[in-house]
Amino acid sequence: MRYLGLDLGTKTLGVAISDRTGIIASFYDSFRYKSEDELVLRIKDIVSNENIDVIVLGLPINMDGSLGFRAEETMTFKEKLEKAIDKEIVLQDERLSTKVATDVLVQADMSRKKRKNVIDGVSAVVILQTYLDRK
């Protein structure tokens, strides 16, 4: 099974992909977008080109476990994806994924400017790896 991990931001999308065995998550891409329709088309292309079986979408749950505005936007985006792509889409709690990703990049001695360009992709890796480990 091949998995695709997504970290949906307000302006950027981080993308991670699993190996063919579904054990290890790796950085795939990170890009800016202007509309969700554009984003759906790009994800659809990735799913087709990479033979993805399951999409894992990060769900930004608040630290107290409640669902805020971003979580609701994410669930609405999930519905759009489900209509456009005939694949299972799983929501994965992404609390602290950006913090973990930032810590990894700081430990790798990456500059703040470079971190800004890859943080969403690394967060997608954390989201996907968390799902794979849990599965």
User: Which band of pLDDT confidence, cut at 50, 70 and 90, is reported for residue 40?
Assistant: very high
Collapsing DSSP states into helix, strand and coil, what is residue 14?
A: strand
- State the greatest distance between any 2 C-alpha atoms of the chain, in Å, as a whole number: 41
108 and 42 in contact (C-beta within 8 Å)?
A: no
Q: Is the pLDDT of residue 3 over 70?
A: yes
The per-residue pLDDT for range 61-107, each reduced to its tens digit, is 877 877 778 889 999 999 999 999 999 999 998 866 666 666 665 66
Quote the CA–CA distance of 11 and 127 in Å, as a whole number. Answer: 18
The per-residue pLDDT for range 42-59, each reduced to its tens digit, is 999 999 999 999 999 999
Q: Is the pLDDT of residue 11 over 70?
A: yes
Collapsing DSSP states into helix, strand and coil, what is residue 118?
A: helix
- We find that the CATH architecture of domain 3-134 is 2-Layer Sandwich (3.30)
Res 87: pLDDT: 96
Please state the pTM of the whole predicted model. Answer: 0.86
**40 or 121, which is more confident?**
40
